[in-house]
Each structure stands twice: as C-alpha cells, then as structure tokens.
Chain A
Amino acid sequence: MEQLLGFAIPGVPYGCAYAIFAVGLCLTYQTTGVFNFGYGGQAYASAYVFTWLTQVRGWSTWGAFVFSVVVLGPGLGLLLDRFLFRRIPSTNTTAKIVTGLSLLVGIPSLLSVLFGNRNLVGAPSIGFDPNTVYFHLGSDVPVNGIYLSAVVGTVAMLVVLVVLLRGTRLGLEMRAAAESRRLVQLDGVNADRVTATAWAISGLMAGLAGVLLAPAEATVQSQDYITLMVAAIAAAAWAALRSMPVAAVVGVFIGVVSLTAQGYLPTSSLWYSAVLPALPFIVLVGALVFVPGLRRLDESKDPLSSVDPPPPPPTADIRTPQIDRFVRAGWWLALLAFVVSMLTWIPSGWETVLNQGLAYSVIFLSITLLTGTAGQLSLAQATLAGVAAFTAAQLALHFGLNFLVGGLVGALAAACVAAVLAVGSLRLRGLGLALMTLAAALLFDVAVFPAHAVSGGTGGVTIERRWLGFDLAAPNGHSYFVLAVIVLFLCAGGVSLVQRGTVGRFLAAMRGSETGAAGIGVNLPWQRILAFALAGALAGVGGTLLVVQETVVAPAQFDYQLSLAFVVIVVTTGVGTVEGAIQAGMGLVVVQELLQYAPQRFQGLTFVLFAAGALTYAAHPEGMVELEKRRWTARAERALARRARSTAPAVTGRP
C-alpha cells in the first residue's frame, strides 16, 4: 500500500492539471459552443508570463498571479471572443476547430517572438510552499505544497463552476447562448455580454491551470501544455464535454494511473515504452467508441443558422472568360519561368528550399482533397506522410527495394491506414472526427514511430544513395527538382480532375449536406473512406518526397503537432483549391527561409503569420489568397468594363 501511494501521489498534480484543463474545455464548450483547442496555448501564455514576471522581473508571487491569471487570462479570453469566436457561425464546426488550432500553434510562437527564446525555470507555487511537507499519507509518503495547491485549486474551481452553471441565471443564459446566440437575443438576453463573460471565466480558468501546473515542471515549455491538452481532451471526451465532475475524475485518473504504472512497469518492457505513453490515446478512443454523446456533438443546430451568408464560390468558377484565359495563361507562364529559373540561375541553397516546398505542396494537396472537397477534417496528415516514408525506408533497408518504388508501396500503406481510420470513425462527424484523427496521430507519435523496428530509434534511418537508383542528391544536379515537379504536377492534376469529376461532385454533396446526399443515394461511408484513402496516399507520396531530399527518415519529421500546423497553413492560403495547397507549400518554406535572416527570436514568426491568417477562416473560409484573388479579379473586371465603355461607339440620341 505504501509503495502504491508512493507511485500514485506524484501523479496527483498532473491528474489535477488534466482535470482543470478538462473541466475548462467542458466549460468553454457548454457556455460558448466552442471546443477550444487553443486552451493549452492560453494556459501556456499565463504560465509563461507568471514565471517571467517572478523570475525575470522580480515581481512578488501574488502580484504576478493577479496579473497573469486575473488580468491576462480573462483579458485573453475576451479578446478571443471579441475578435474571433464571436464572428464564427454557430454551426461551422470546422471554423471553430481551425481557429482553436491556430491559437494552439500561434500563441507559443508569438510568446517566443515577444519575449525571445528564454528558458524559464523555477515557477513559484501558489498558496502552499513546494518545499514544505505538510503531512504524510500512511507512514512515509510526503505531501508537499505542489500537491496541495493542485488539489485545493482543482476542487475549489470545480465547486464554483458547477454552482455557477447549474444554480445561477447567468449559467442558464450561458448555456442557452451556446446553442444559439441569436435566438437568446430575441428573448431579450444580452448575448454578447453573456458570451463575453463565459470567455472571461474560461480564460481565467486556463490561466489558473497554467500557473498551477508551472511549478510541477522544471521549465515552462509549450510542449508540456500541448501534451497536457491531449490528456485533458481524453478526460473531457468521457464527459461528452458536458459533465464537469466526470471530466475531473477521469483527468485525475489518467494522471494517477500513468504515474503509478510507470512505477510498477519495468522500463525495458513494451508496456512501458509503447503502451503507457499511448494511455491518453487509448482513453480518448475508448470515449469516442463508447460515449454516444460524442457522436451527437454536431447535431445541435442553431435554428437561425440559415441567416448566415453562404461561402463565396471559388474565383476560378465565376471570373469572366476573358480574365480566365488571361489567368490560365499566366499560370502556365509562371510555371515555365519557375522551372527555367530552377534549372538555370537559382542558387542551390534556394533550390533546396523550394524543392522542399514542392514536397510540402504534395502533402498539402491531401488536405485540399479531404477538407476542401470532402469537408472532413483530419489532424493526422503528417502522420500518414510518415507511414509512407518509414515503410519505404524499411523496404529499402530489409529488401533492398528502390526507395521511390517503396514510396509508392508506402503511399498504399498510408492509404490503408487512412481507410482504417475512416472505417473506425464512420459514426463520428466534425469535432468527433477531428479528435479521433488526433488520437491516431498521437498513437503513431508515441508508440509506433519511435519503435526501433520502424525508425531505428529517434535518430531515424539514413537514406543511402544506392536506394534511390539515380543520384537525386548530387550537388549542382537538378534530378530531385525534376522528380518533385513531375510528382506535384501529377498529384495536382489528379486532385483537380477528381474535384471536377463524379467523385468530386459526390464529395461536394456530402460536404454540403450528409442528410441530403444520403437522401439521393450517395454511399456516404464509401465516399468517406475513399476520400480518406486518397488523401492518405497523397500525404504518403509527399512524405516520401520530403525525406528523399532530407536524406533521413526520423520520427521528429512527422510529429503530430505538424499535422495541426499543416491544417492551419493550408486553411490560410485556401483549402478548397489546388493552387491553395501549392501556395501553402511554397509559402511555408519561403517564409521560413527569409526568417533565417532575421534575429533569433523571430524564427517562430512563420507559425504566427500562418496562424494569424487562419484566424480569418471564420470570415473568409475560402482562405486569404483566394480572398485576394477574388478582390483582384473584381478590380480587373471593373477595369475591363470601363475600358469597354470608353471604347464603345457613342449611341446617337433620337432626333
């Protein structure tokens, strides 16, 4: 018993942090209708500022607490409400998820830009001294201030929130406004004030959770808060995003069980290295399979949703034939100029960068097909790229198969994994589907890719020249560029043909209304599996292309967080069009390369820029580039109309 407590007690602060996060996610969902993926970013911001104020600026603990939790936390929540989430139509789940992801990716990057890449250590504990043992459980299990702060903070917060939501008029108004902000306004409720209050409380909780967790870690790192989010999501999922006590209990359970199992399991066992890190994934998948409430998350529809304006059609569909001819010719000329430049005068350093952009473009085409065309959100596209790359590497390593041929086999494997994922989540929609794909990405990240049999360890597998058949990595050679351009051209053409064809029409119908599509006989499960499989294959081809240039296949190249960033980046440029994916791929590498010339602290600005672009998704779901294309097309059409009027012969009046 003493040993059990000794292993379990250190898990309590983690469990409490998971619980607070999970409760915060439930609160935000219940009161605003938003599953806020950015919650981890908000918590990290408060923790970072709190530690910076106490350790760098020398503020008192309570002064820093008041600023970072009571001022910054709710302030951030109010800003998010005022400028972002208030503008998102209540039924647009994808916009809410993408906005949350943008915050999760963008806030830590923004902090590193604002404060520099500081290594902040020694965050103080709130209320209780971390170095004082207040009492012992049993005979010799010490309980110090960190544990007490976490437990007292969690219980107090839970009680206050349950009373607020269930026992006050404000709580009732918050829950009603989450269903339909516009409908409660018709009942005389100031919905803006109610929702702003909900976001302020949610922000306060995020700040408190961040500051309570900070002393439990040696340094304040965004990675810890993102990892913590995954466990919290699993706990919130078991509560169907509704019951805060259930979320809290499951959160504590995950924290305590993880640490207890860590204590008992031999460190050399598969259970320790693969199963234990995947515990949040297992808990999350269990919730998605066994909690029926999660399948109905997207069913609650705003009765006034029809007043939302429809998204604008793609510019390519509405421009005049005259401009269309001009634009098409322009694209071919640009492609020709790009190819000629790459083969002649562009320095090899930049050629390498742009080659990487071509490979990313292929991966991003998978998001175009899956999200832009089929309306399905996957947070595992980087993982699928990794499946293909590791498959190709293992086939080359063990069977001597050409790496590029192996890449095609790998793409097939990625398509199969994606199809299995689609089959496993057929009953899930919107948020549920996003969570399932995130869980799968996490599983591969912690339990599959690091395995020695897959990647040879964290260092990865080095790609040998003989595996490639011809010398793609030769200095001053353009073989890789030619290969990448051909692959991108084929993939982009394929996606474009699918979008315009029968499958594309079926997918567009499914995206528009699953009920309507099923009503005319569209086989929704098959279309969904097909979309996932095709997207998986595209990601696989892109992943293989990417690692060929980098000459190594390592787990870090396919981190699950990259999948989140990929969605944010493609949404920024335009998720519905092929050129949006290519612009995203090239834009990502060019911005990253240009920032190499900026001071060190601005290295993280790439994701800030893309996240800022994705934050406009609610207002412009077609993407920033597509928006600008529409504006420029409209200007060109006006100019052409003026010119036509001025050159038209004058009409003589009636005598």
Chain B
Amino acid sequence: MRRPTGGIGGLLEVRGVSKSFGGRVAVDGVDLSVGGGESVGLVGPNGAGKTTLFNCICGQLRPDKGSIVFCGRELSRLSPWRRARLGIGRTFQRIEVFPELTVRDHLLVADRVRHRSGRANLWRDLSNRAAPSAEELGRVEGVLSMVGLVELADVPVAALDLGTCRLVELARALVGEPSLLLADEPSSGLDERETREVASVLRALQLTRGMAVLLVEHDLAMVEAVVDRVVVMDLGCVVASGAFADVMAEHAVRRAYLGTA
C-alpha cells in the first residue's frame, strides 16, 4: 500500500470523536490535529480518555461519533493493520510484544511488513529465500543501536524486563518508519536515564526524519523535552492546548491535575 504524504498542518485531523462504554463517556467530542513533523503531548489525569482516543485513532476501537483523517484519508472504515501501513506507528500502555521472538526478529517482522508485505512471501519461504538480507539487517541494526538494544538483539523478548520491552516496542514501531508515532506512556517502567534517552531519540527522529509524534505521558519533564505543544484532556474532553508552559499555568489544567478550584 502506497503511503500518502501529509504536509505540515494536515497529517492527523481528529474531529468531534466520541466513545462511550455502556453509560460512561470515555471520549467526548474531541478535536485534535497533528501536523507533519510536529510533536504533540497529550496529557491528563488517569481516566481522562487519552488511551481510548489512541485506540480510536489506531482502529482498536471504533468511535461512536466523529471523524479521523490521516493524510487526507478518512480512517473510520480501515482496520488497525491498514492504518499501520498508512504510516501510523504505535507503542502500547500495556505491553504488546511477541514473547517467543527475539528482539531482532521483532524488528525484522516490522521491517518486512514495511518492505515485503506482498503475497509472494510464501513462495520465498518455500524456496528457502527468506533469510534476512544485508540491507534488512542494516536497517534493523540501525534502529537497535538508536535505542541501545544491540547487545540484546538475540534474546527472546520473554526474557526481558518491562522497561526493556518498552524499548523493543518503540524500536519495532520506529523500524516501520512511521509518519506519525503514537507513543503511549513510553517512559513507564524506565529509569531516569532511559527516559532521557527515549526522549532524545523521539526528538531526534522528529527533527531528522520529520516524524510526527503524539505522546501520552505522565512524566511532564519528558513531555516538556519532547513536544512542541501540549493538549490536556480531562473526563473525556480537551480542556486546554498550547505551549507547554502556558498550558500548565492554566486554571482548568491545574484543577484537572490537582483538583483545586
């Protein structure tokens, strides 16, 4: 599938998206836009609806109302894997790795989806032509070194700790060269040094590759280090947006986080 190219200001447009579970409204008429190469933080207290909104964008959940447009293409009828192939990468709040595969195989799977997803794979396998090429290994090694996982490349992911699994997820998403990365609490389970490294990787990719980032994160220091602007959600609604320092000073944001009037 050919990837559409989105210009600045038009990469992701979320308009009036709502999602309810039973009688509880998790996301309520949210508008959000992310431009090409832009880095946006999505913050808010637990239960604000951030991950639900992520799931709606990725196709894990179908919104009750509203539209989601990526690079000018309406996403609502597309399955999650089709959205991924359009260039939306994702890391998960609850780790979603393939326990029996090694770290390198994780990245190879993602790389082959990006470069070799045709129907001829079966024929290549049966004719014993499925070994990774030097070019593939080069791409994979590049991402592994970027996130500091080279030494663990041949370790099955089941043997890794939670923090390292998060890095594997991040690397797996990056090897697919997404236009937009949805990072759901990437610092969860990481120590301070690892968090700083992840932040610098995200910032570097944004600047060098023009990759847009939509970051859900509770570590506000990391958010400040990575994003160009921030959107604050509370009780399913957007309550503020703008530059990090300005937004954090807003009354509605302080009330959402601290519960003060």
Binds B, one of A9-17, A35-43, A502-510: A502-510
A266 close to chain B: CB less than 8 A: no
Q: Bound complex: CA of A652 vs CA of B257, how far in Å?
A: 67
B80 close to chain A: CB less than 8 A: yes
Given A310-B159, A498-B125, A506-B109, A518-B99 contact (CB < 8 Å): no
CB neighbours of B105 from chain A (8 A): 505, 508
Q: Distance in Å from the Cβ of B136 to the closest Cβ of chain A?
A: 10
Which listed residue, B110, B122, B162, touches A520 by the CB 8 Å rule? B110
Q: Select from chain B the residue with minimum beta-carbon distance to A505.
A: B109
Q: Select from chain A the residue with minimum beta-carbon distance to B79.
A: A518
Contact with B along A480-512 (1 / 0, CB 8 A): 000000000000001001101111111011011
The residues in A between 303 and 341 inclusive whose CB is less than 8 angstroms from any CB of B are 306, 310-311, 313
CB neighbours of B204 from chain A (8 A): none
B126 close to chain A: CB less than 8 A: yes
A512 contacts B125, C-beta separation under 8 Å: no
Q: Bound complex: CA of A501 vs CA of B128, how far in Å?
A: 8
Q: Bound complex: CA of A297 vs CA of B80, how far in Å?
A: 21
9 interchain residue pairs of minimum CB distance: A501-B125, A512-B98, A310-B158, A501-B130, A516-B96, A521-B84, A518-B80, A521-B85, A502-B121
B176 contacts A520, C-beta separation under 8 Å: yes
A520 contacts B173, C-beta separation under 8 Å: yes
B113 contacts A521, C-beta separation under 8 Å: yes
B97 contacts A521, C-beta separation under 8 Å: no
Q: Bound complex: CA of A505 vs CA of B104, how far in Å?
A: 11
A515 contacts B109, C-beta separation under 8 Å: no
| 22 residue pairs from A and B, CB less than 8 Å apart | A306-B162, A311-B99, A498-B126, A501-B130, A502-B125, A506-B109, A509-B109, A516-B92, A516-B96, A518-B81, A518-B84, A519-B58, A519-B89, A519-B90, A520-B89, A520-B176, A521-B85, A521-B110, A521-B176, A522-B81, A523-B81, A525-B79
CB neighbours of A519 from chain B (8 A): 58, 80, 84, 89-90, 92, 96, 173
Q: Bound complex: CA of A494 vs CA of B114, how far in Å?
A: 25
CB neighbours of A525 from chain B (8 A): 79
CB neighbours of B96 from chain A (8 A): 513, 515-516, 519
B122 contacts A498, C-beta separation under 8 Å: yes
A275 close to chain B: CB less than 8 A: no
Q: Bound complex: CA of A523 vs CA of B112, how far in Å?
A: 12
Q: Bound complex: CA of A523 vs CA of B83, how far in Å?
A: 11
B145 close to chain A: CB less than 8 A: no
A624 close to chain B: CB less than 8 A: no
B172 close to chain A: CB less than 8 A: yes
A246 close to chain B: CB less than 8 A: no
Q: Select from chain B the residue with minimum beta-carbon distance to A309.
A: B158
Q: Select from chain B the residue with minimum beta-carbon distance to A518.
A: B80
A158 close to chain B: CB less than 8 A: no
Which listed residue, A311, A313, A503, A509, touches B125 by the CB 8 Å rule? A503
Q: Bound complex: CA of A525 vs CA of B173, how far in Å?
A: 21
Given A497-B128, A502-B130, A516-B92, A522-B113 contact (CB < 8 Å): yes
B159 contacts A521, C-beta separation under 8 Å: no
Contact with B along A104-128 (1 / 0, CB 8 A): 0000000000000000000000000
Q: Select from chain B the residue with minimum beta-carbon distance to A504.
A: B125
B176 contacts A505, C-beta separation under 8 Å: no
The residues in A between 259 and 298 inclusive whose CB is less than 8 angstroms from any CB of B are none
A502 contacts B100, C-beta separation under 8 Å: no
Q: Bound complex: CA of A227 vs CA of B181, how far in Å?
A: 52
Interface residues of B (CB under 8 A from A): 58-60, 79-82, 84-85, 89-90, 92, 95-101, 105-106, 108-110, 112-114, 116-117, 121-122, 124-126, 128, 130, 156, 158-159, 162, 169, 172-173, 176
Q: Distance in Å from the Cβ of B182 to the closest Cβ of chain A?
A: 9
CB neighbours of B90 from chain A (8 A): 519
Q: Bound complex: CA of A313 vs CA of B89, how far in Å?
A: 28
Q: Distance in Å from the Cβ of A38 to the closest Cβ of chain B?
A: 28
Q: Distance in Å from the Cβ of B114 to the closest Cβ of chain A?
A: 7
Which listed residue, A310, A497, A504, A534, touches B99 by the CB 8 Å rule? A310
CB neighbours of B95 from chain A (8 A): 306
B109 contacts A503, C-beta separation under 8 Å: no
CB neighbours of A513 from chain B (8 A): 96-98
Given A497-B126, A501-B125, A521-B100 contact (CB < 8 Å): no
CB neighbours of B106 from chain A (8 A): 509
A505 contacts B81, C-beta separation under 8 Å: no
Q: Distance in Å from the Cβ of A90 to the closest Cβ of chain B?
A: 16
A520 contacts B101, C-beta separation under 8 Å: no
Q: Bound complex: CA of A34 vs CA of B72, how far in Å?
A: 46
B101 contacts A512, C-beta separation under 8 Å: yes
CB neighbours of B169 from chain A (8 A): 516
Q: Select from chain B the residue with minimum beta-carbon distance to A506.
A: B109
A517 close to chain B: CB less than 8 A: yes
CB neighbours of A497 from chain B (8 A): 125-126, 128, 130
Q: Bound complex: CA of A100 vs CA of B187, how far in Å?
A: 41
Interface centre among A306, A500, A515, A534 (most CB of B within 10 A): A515
A524 close to chain B: CB less than 8 A: yes
Q: Bound complex: CA of A500 vs CA of B101, how far in Å?
A: 11
CB neighbours of A196 from chain B (8 A): none
With A502-B130, A509-B98, A523-B81 already in contact, 7 other A-B pairs whose C-beta atoms are closer than 8 Å: A310-B158, A310-B159, A503-B125, A505-B105, A508-B98, A521-B81, A534-B122
A501 contacts B121, C-beta separation under 8 Å: yes
Q: Bound complex: CA of A512 vs CA of B169, how far in Å?
A: 13
A530 contacts B159, C-beta separation under 8 Å: no
A502 contacts B84, C-beta separation under 8 Å: no
Q: Bound complex: CA of A504 vs CA of B113, how far in Å?
A: 13
A505 contacts B100, C-beta separation under 8 Å: no
Which listed residue, A502, A504, A515, A520, touches B116 by the CB 8 Å rule? A502
Which listed residue, B98, B113, B121, touches A511 by the CB 8 Å rule? B98
Q: Bound complex: CA of A352 vs CA of B4, how far in Å?
A: 61
A505 contacts B92, C-beta separation under 8 Å: no
Q: Bound complex: CA of A570 vs CA of B100, how far in Å?
A: 20
Q: Select from chain A the residue with minimum beta-carbon distance to B118.
A: A502
CB neighbours of A506 from chain B (8 A): 109, 112-113, 121
B109 contacts A520, C-beta separation under 8 Å: yes
Q: Bound complex: CA of A68 vs CA of B19, how far in Å?
A: 53
Q: Bound complex: CA of A500 vs CA of B122, how far in Å?
A: 11
CB neighbours of B162 from chain A (8 A): 306
Q: Distance in Å from the Cβ of A606 to the closest Cβ of chain B?
A: 31
CB neighbours of A498 from chain B (8 A): 122, 125-126
The residues in A between 163 and 202 inclusive whose CB is less than 8 angstroms from any CB of B are none
A521 contacts B101, C-beta separation under 8 Å: no
B101 contacts A508, C-beta separation under 8 Å: yes
B117 contacts A523, C-beta separation under 8 Å: yes
Q: Select from chain B the residue with minimum beta-carbon distance to A516.
A: B96
Q: Distance in Å from the Cβ of A617 to the closest Cβ of chain B?
A: 16
Q: Distance in Å from the Cβ of B256 to the closest Cβ of chain A?
A: 26
A517 contacts B98, C-beta separation under 8 Å: yes
CB neighbours of B58 from chain A (8 A): 519
A509 contacts B130, C-beta separation under 8 Å: no
Q: Bound complex: CA of A313 vs CA of B81, how far in Å?
A: 28
B84 contacts A508, C-beta separation under 8 Å: no
A520 contacts B172, C-beta separation under 8 Å: yes
CB neighbours of B126 from chain A (8 A): 494, 497-498, 501
CB neighbours of B84 from chain A (8 A): 518-521
Interface centre among B98, B101, B108, B173 (most CB of A within 10 A): B98
CB neighbours of A523 from chain B (8 A): 81, 117
CB neighbours of A306 from chain B (8 A): 95, 162
Given A497-B130, A515-B92, A503-B121 contact (CB < 8 Å): yes
Which listed residue, A311, A520, A534, touches B113 by the CB 8 Å rule? A520
Q: Distance in Å from the Cβ of A544 to the closest Cβ of chain B?
A: 20
Q: Select from chain B the residue with minimum beta-carbon distance to A530.
A: B122
CB neighbours of B89 from chain A (8 A): 519-520
CB neighbours of B79 from chain A (8 A): 518, 524-525
Given A498-B125, A508-B98, A521-B81, A311-B130 contact (CB < 8 Å): no
Interface centre among A306, A513, A523 (most CB of B within 10 A): A523
A516 contacts B108, C-beta separation under 8 Å: no
